[in-house]
Structure 1
Amino acid sequence: MPTEVPQPLRDDIVWLDLVEPTPQEDAFVEGLLGIPIPTRDELKDIEPSSRLYIQSNSVFMTASLVYRADSEDPHLTDVAFILSGNRLVTVRYAEPKSFQLFIAALGRVPEGKRDGTTLLARLLETIADRTAEILEHTVDHIDKLSTDIFRDRGKRRPPHYLESKLAKIAEAHRLVAKVRDSLGSLSRLLTFLMNVPHMQADKGDSSLCATVAHDVETLSEHASFVAGNISFLLDASLGLINVEQNAIIKIFSIASVVFLPPTLVASIYGMNFHFMPELNWHLGYPLALFAMLMSAIIPFFIFRWKGWL
């Protein structure tokens, strides 16, 4: 793409969405608008002064958004939002679903209200709505996991059943953690944006940003609540695993105690001393077997009576 601008950008072009731009494309847009376009490395800077600032009457903001939330490997991607005059510029190196939803709904924005600040406010609203949808799906997933873990506790289940659920819980915990990080960055961005003259100039856009900021705050509280439920479910699953392991150990312990008296009887009559009166008994062998059997049965019924089995 050439770096020289053959003609100025038309006034009706109010949004430039740069998806994985090359250095040549960055230079081309910089020539169009006369503003620096942040690179991928600059977007990763976590310093607030590098993510939210005003330069040459242009507003530069960076937020972390969740993408691939519907997969087993969700990620965060840094997206730049730039207000330059009447235009909005977004720079991203991933495909968050919120952008697809916003583009699909662009036709609902009145033509007379299609400017950079309005598009940014509505885009942030779509991002908040998508984040709420992610949390809603996560809550449904956690409820299903909770039902699978705690229901039918008396039925026999496959080995490592609970261990397989731990992986699902970890996936949900990772997703909620990324959602909380994203909401934190969005909250800082909205607080900064509401104090920017570009946004304060339009009461409608300013009011929408305030509403989105309130939604983000509510979602942050809800995400904390969901994270607490996940932690409880994780602790409960680990506790159930310990209970099942203790039950297995208890079975072996009882078996050892039950078979210990018969082993003692067999050991006594397995000794080869010459003077053992029982060796000359005609009923010695069946009596020994009977003693071994009774010494195993009696402890078994005692354990059942005590409720240990």
Structure 2
Amino acid sequence: MITGYCANGEAVALSTAEPPSVLRPDLVWIDLVEPTKAEDVMIENLLGIPIPTRDDLKDIEPSSRLYTDDGSVFMTASLVYRSDTEMPGLTDVGFILAGRRLVTVRYAEPRAFSLFKAGMHRIPGGCRNGAVILTRLLETIVDRTAEILEQAVDKIDDLALQVFGEKASGRRRPPHFLEARLRDVAGYHRLVAKTRDSLASLSRLLTFVYTVPDVQADKESRELCRTISRDIQSLSEHTAFISGNITFLLDASLGLINVEQNAIIKIFSIASVVLLPPTLVASIYGMNFRLMPELEWQFGYPWALAAMVLSAVIPFFFFRWKGWL
């Protein structure tokens, strides 16, 4: 699907069924979402530039992600998407500055794009050219990344309260509660790790964008690049702090699981120690010796039962007095 956007924010659909012979002069942004081969060819013919394919966008070589070709600037960045799901991921997005137009190529739907489209009409000075749209779009992407981190911090705080049992309900934890929380910790670790990778990709892209002549010629875009770079640096430092909190939460969860397991083992140990003396008494009186005076007593059976009870109670209170229980 191909959608074009004019300087005033108007959206224009471009279709291969009725391909235009030329592009409208006020068309400043062309957004390609999961384009087909025919759509790629149509845009290539209209703009006279090659459109990167999905495989081209996945190329991890820095020299292949940021370069200039015949006056057009080609850039690729990894953006976080599906951040609200259990499987967040990274998607590679291509940015092309071709003259005064911006072309974006993507095979996913990061929320930053829909947010930017909704607020295009509020851009100060309007969407004059592709350089302005690019810097403003990158600003929205970084703002969305900051929002993802803020939401992750809130969820991690809630998870920490659950792990340490600080809940107003005061209910007893269900079985395997902490084991389930470990999966939550792994999910947040994946999200923060993907966000950190995205910020590193955006940082390289911003450094390259700052050197683009069209950006250098526009004072507003140039200053905005500097601001975005500082924001990315701050967010990168913040992700390191969040990663440390997640590591602490993971260690704490494992420690609490070990404490619970040790408590269970302690109960079995106490039970075995308490039952060992009665077993000894029962073993003695279960022997088939011919001469055993207690077998002839009238109260021999109650005596044996009482001896087993006392042999269990006395060690229990002795261990408790010593502070071992």
Short-chain TM bin:
over 0.9
**Percent of aligned pairs with the same amino acid:** 68
Alpha-carbon distance in structure 1 between the residues aligned to 2:166 and 2:236: 34
Residues 275, 312 of structure 2: 8 Å contact kept: yes
Alpha-carbon distance in structure 1 between the residues aligned to 2:324 and 2:115: 59
In structure 1, which of residues 225, 247, 255 is the aligned counterpart of residue 241 of structure 2? 225
CA deviations on 1:230-272 (whole Å, 9 max, x unpaired) are 1110111011011101100110011000000010011001000
Q: How do 1:1-309 and structure 2 match up within 5 A?
A: 2=16, 7-110=21-124, 113-152=127-166, 156-309=172-325
Task: Give the CA deviation at 1:152.
Answer: 4.9
Q: 1:6 to 1:121 in 2, by over 3 A?
A: closer
Q: 1:7 to 1:190 in 2, by over 3 A?
A: same
Alpha-carbon distance in structure 2 between the residues aligned to 1:247 and 1:152: 20
Residues 30, 37 of structure 1: 8 Å contact kept: yes
Alpha-carbon distance in structure 2 between the residues aligned to 1:3 and 1:282: 108
Match of 2:9 in 1: none
Alpha-carbon distance in structure 2 between the residues aligned to 1:88 and 1:77: 19
Alpha-carbon distance in structure 2 between the residues aligned to 1:296 and 1:218: 64
Q: CA RMSD in A?
A: 1.7
Alpha-carbon distance in structure 1 between the residues aligned to 2:139 and 2:126: 19
Gaps in structure 1 of 5+ consecutive residues: none
What amino acid does structure 1 have at the position aligned with 2:147? E
Task: Give the CA deviation at 1:303.
Answer: 2.5
Gaps in structure 2 of 5+ consecutive residues: 1-14
Residue 128 of structure 1 aligns to a residue whose secondary structure is: helix
Q: Which moved more, 1:109-118 or 1:70-79?
A: 109-118
Residues 78, 90 of structure 2: 8 Å contact kept: yes
Residues 64, 76 of structure 1: 8 Å contact kept: yes
Alpha-carbon distance in structure 1 between the residues aligned to 2:194 and 2:28: 31
What amino acid does structure 2 have at the position aligned with 1:134? I
Residues 28, 127 of structure 2: 8 Å contact kept: no
What amino acid does structure 2 have at the position aligned with 1:16? I
What amino acid does structure 2 have at the position aligned with 1:282? Q
Alpha-carbon distance in structure 2 between the residues aligned to 1:307 and 1:60: 72
TM-score (norm 1): 0.96
Q: 1:7 to 1:35 in 2, by over 3 A?
A: same
- The number of equivalent residue pairs is 309
Residue 14 of structure 1 aligns to a residue whose secondary structure is: strand
Q: 1:114 to 1:306 in 2, by over 3 A?
A: farther
